Amino acid sequence: MTAEGIVLSGTGGVWQVRTDEGETHDVSLRGRLKRGTEAIKLAVGDRVTIARDARDAAWAITDIAPRRSVLARREPSGRVGERIVVANLDQVVVVFAAANPEPHERMLDRFLVIAEANDLAARIVINKAELVGEERVRERFADYVAAGYRLHLTSAKSGRGLDELHEALDGKVSALTGPSGVGKSSLMNAMYPGLDLRVGEISESVNKGRHTTVGAVLHPLPDGGYVADTPGLREVGVWGLAADALDGCFPELRALAPECRFADCVHEVEPDCAVRTAVQEGRASAARYDSYRRLRTELAETERRYPG
């Protein structure tokens, strides 16, 4: 007997797989799975085929479908030791609060760069919007809308924006991330009553007292789709990203950089730099440019320390 499904989580060598029929089985991985001659490591989010052993009735994974995306944690050295945190994500949903805790734009930029570096779509949710008022929130995050990001203003408390966010999650595999205390769990519980989700804590409690590292956990949504709880997304970091690839991780700079005089312009001191000009003329965000420069310095430093 076989079935198709998706890997929800993995603990101590046992994987939880939810079949397309909606059943969840504990499944083992016997031997090694190969594609061609290459051994592949299983990841949360993988689409798999599972088979039930006729003798002991235990389920085992027999095949992994090709991935349509990967969120990978890189090592400082770059390629070596890349570890897949979640496979097949459709989008990253970055949640901050309008206040309490005060939003930290430079941290938001890091999350967005991680999404971009992994070729994943990202949207921004500003929760607790009722504490500050719509106009001020829109003003504060206008740079992100200008860069092309979808901005959701929500309040888990008043219910505003929840239908729209719910719709954005329907049928998709989304990684929900952001600092603690911004209301991620409150949002999920307000949108999906009865799901009783503690985002950012489930994996930690599953992990308690065991010597396994638990990565992401996928939670099936009642209306289709999954929310991936990735407590360690911030640690996924920008390690291993080439400094030169950073332009591509800022959509608004990505559009300007080809206009620079020099093809290898790093947008610092070069003459006829379209990025600096746009910032000076107020056509590009000075704050986002500042983030870009900080990250660029950080990446260049990593490249120096871990060459090759």
Contact set with Zn ion (CB under 5 A): 260, 265, 267, 273, 275
The entry of ligand GDP, Zn ion, none that residue 180 binds, CB within 5 to 8 Å by partner kind:
ligand GDP
Q: Which of 59, 60, 66 is nearest to 87 (CA)?
A: 66
Nearer to ligand GDP, 5 or 179 (CB): 179
Nearer to ligand GDP, 45 or 183 (CB): 183
Tell me the site size for ligand GDP, rule CB under 6 A. Answer: 16
Q: Contacts for 277-284 with beta carbons within 8 Å, 24 or more apart?
A: 284/252, 284/253, 284/256
Nearer to Zn ion, 153 or 275 (CB): 275
The entry of Zn ion, ligand GDP, none that residue 199 binds, CB within 5 to 8 Å by partner kind:
ligand GDP
Interaction mask 197-216, ligand GDP, x per CB under 6 A: --xx----------------
Q: Answer yes or no: are the C-beta atoms of 287 and 297 closer than 8 Å.
A: no
Q: How far is the CB of 94 from Zn ion (least distance, A)?
A: 27
SS (H, E, C) the chain: CEEEEEEEEEECCEEEEEECCCCEEEEECCCCEEECCEEECCCCCCEEEEEECCCCCCEEEEEECCCCCEEEEEECCEEEEEEEEEECCCEEEEEEECCCCCCCHHHHHHHHHHHHHCCCEEEEEEECHHHCCHHHHHHHCHHHHHCCCEEEECCCCCCCCHHHHHHHHCCCEEEEECCCCCCHHHHHHHHCCCCCCCCCCHHHHHHCCCCCCCCCEEEECCCCCEEEECCCHHHHCCCCCCHHHHHHHCHHHHHHHHHCCCCCCCCCCCCCCHHHHHHHCCCCCHHHHHHHHHHHHHHHHHHHHCCC
The entry of ligand GDP, Zn ion, none that residue 229 binds, CB within 5 to 8 Å by partner kind:
none
Residues 73-132 that bind ligand GDP (CB under 6 A): 127-128, 130-131
Choice from 186, 203, 230, 291 touching ligand GDP (CB under 6 A)? 186
Q: How far is the CB of 205 from ligand GDP (least distance, A)?
A: 14
Partner residues linked to 34 by β-bridges: 39
Cα angle 141, 115, 35 (rounded to 5 degrees) comes to: 165
Q: How far is the CB of 276 from Zn ion (least distance, A)?
A: 6
Q: Which residues contact 39 (CB under 8 A, 6 or more apart)?
A: 32, 33
Residues 143-162 that bind ligand GDP (CB under 6 A): 155-157
Q: Which stretch binds ligand GDP (CB under 6 A): 118-126, 182-190, 242-250, 266-274?
A: 182-190
Nearer to ligand GDP, 66 or 181 (CB): 181
Ranked by CB distance to ligand GDP, the top (closest) residue is 183
Q: How far is the CB of 172 from ligand GDP (least distance, A)?
A: 20
Nearer to Zn ion, 20 or 268 (CB): 268
Nearer to ligand GDP, 103 or 183 (CB): 183
Nearer to ligand GDP, 146 or 202 (CB): 202
Nearer to Zn ion, 125 or 275 (CB): 275
Q: How far is the CB of 274 from Zn ion (least distance, A)?
A: 6
Choice from 174, 185, 291, 302 touching ligand GDP (CB under 6 A)? 185
Binding site for ligand GDP (CB under 6 A): 127-128, 130-131, 155-157, 180-186, 199-200
